[in-house]
Amino acid sequence: MRFLPRLFANNRAWAADRTAKDPAFFERLCAIQRPEYLWIGCADSRVPANEIVGLAPGEMFVHRNVANIVRVDDRNCLSVLQYGIDTLGISQVIVCGHYQCGGVQTAFGPHTHQPLEGWIEQIRALRHAHAAELDRLSDDAERWHRLCELNVGAQVRTLNGLPIVVEARGRGQVVHIHGWMYDLRDGLLRDLEVSED
């Protein structure tokens, strides 16, 4: 292996370990994909979706981007959502933000280069919309953390208004949308209790 041999070695060990523990594991995964959950999270390397909720391959459909944003003009995210809800029949959608999110932090700083600046513009707008609340907080770390939470709430609201979700509910399909925060400091999740169904 010329490039990144450690990753290939890790992969062989992982596949062998899976098969040793459960000989039919890969066979089963090939046969069907029926995850119960859709995770929309940050691309941050410290927030590995499956791992922090203890789910195996096949159990969670995952979409990650910078700062866990759901944009109505993002075909990538919306295609994941459409496939997840319409084809896979997923009923539990989780938007998971995290504290110390670099994408959210960017919204506090000077304008950065494209395309990142355009991507996080809605977080900047959210910061301005909540300026009074954020200004009352005692320091920059608290403002950063609060904006991470507000960002998750905004994505949950966006999801609830999307035609994919509205139409699925109109057909009688159950679609719960949850807003969670992951804390890098202790590895624990917290439900922001902004769920709607």
Tell me how far apart the alpha carbons of residues 2 and 183 are, in angstroms, rounded to a whole number: 37
Helices vs strands, H then E, count in the chain:
10, 5
Tell me how far apart the alpha carbons of residues 34 and 89 are, in angstroms, rounded to a whole number.
8
Active-site residue (options: 77, 101, 148, 178) = 101
Stretch that binds Co ion, among 14-22, 94-102, 129-137, 189-197 (CB under 5 A): 94-102
For Co ion, which residue of 37, 38, 40, 42 counts as binding (CB under 5 A)?
Answer: 42
Number of residues binding to Co ion, judged by CB under 5 A: 4
Distance CA 20, CA 184 (A): 32
Strand-pair category, 92-98 with 60-65? unpaired
Is 128 a known active-site residue? no
**Taking CB under 5 A as the rule, does residue 101 contact Co ion?**
yes
Q: Of 86 and 121, which has the nearer Cβ to Co ion?
A: 121
Under the binding rule (CB under 5 A), the answer on residue 148 touching Co ion is no
Contact between 96 and Co ion by CB under 5 A: the answer reads no
Angle at 151 between CA 172 and CA 178, to 5 degrees: 30
31 vs 72: CA distance, rounded Å: 33
The one among 35, 44, 69, 152 contacting Co ion by CB under 5 A: 44
> Nearest approach, Cβ of 27 to Co ion (angstroms)?
36
Residue 54 has which token pair? Answer: 């203890």
Stretch that binds Co ion, among 51-59, 98-106, 127-135, 189-197 (CB under 5 A): 98-106
Contact region for Co ion (CB under 5 A) — 41-49, 78-86, 162-170, 179-187? 41-49
> 78 — phi, psi (to 5°)?
-70, -30
Residue 46 annotated among the catalytic residues of the structure: yes
Nearer to Co ion, 69 or 175 (CB): 69
Overall size of the chain counted in residues: 197
Residues engaged in binding Co ion (CB under 5 A): 42, 44, 101, 103
Point out the residues that are catalytic. Answer: 42, 44, 46, 98, 101
